[in-house]
Amino acid sequence: MNILKNINLIIAVTAGGGIGALLRFLISSAFKQNQNNFPFATFLINIVGCLLIGIFYSVIKPENTTLKAFLIIGLLGGFTTFSAFAFETIQLINSGKIFTAFFYVILSNIICFMSVYAGARFTSIF
């Protein structure tokens, strides 16, 4: 990627990511005291983010790459922990790659959970 040619995209993703991460932090902070053993904040953020990524993808014209970069990659990528995964899975399904989508979902869940566990175990050893 030619950085100078794509500076608008880089700025859009950076700005959107910062805003999205800040929104996630603020919402998570507001819910912290009310979690009752269920991560409601993350659950709500992921649902809202997945809904918005579907809406933005559908309504923003394909040639408007800067707006898509800001909203989908930046804002929602920084806001959610799940929307990119869900979006990529839907793209695989829509392109007829049902087995690949199924494999991606199963493998991602198993390996990601195992990775979190391994990371936690690894750091507790030292």
User: Is the alpha carbon torsion for 16, 21, 25, 27 positive or negative?
Assistant: positive
The model's confidence at residue 36, banded by pLDDT at 50, 70 and 90, is low
Q: Per mean pLDDT, which range of 5-9, 18-22, 81-85 is the poorest?
A: 81-85
The model's confidence at residue 11, banded by pLDDT at 50, 70 and 90, is very high
Q: Per mean pLDDT, which range of 28-37, 41-50, 58-67 is the poorest?
A: 28-37
The tokens for 36 are 């009752």
Classify the phi-psi angles of 117: left when phi > 0, otherwise alpha if psi is within -120 to 50, otherwise beta.
Answer: alpha
Residue 115's pLDDT is 87
Share above pLDDT 90 across residues of the chain, in percent, rounded to a whole number: 49
| CA angle, residues 72, 45, 83, in degrees to nearest 5 | 35
Distances (CA, A) of 41 to 21, 78, 103, 108: 13, 15, 28, 22
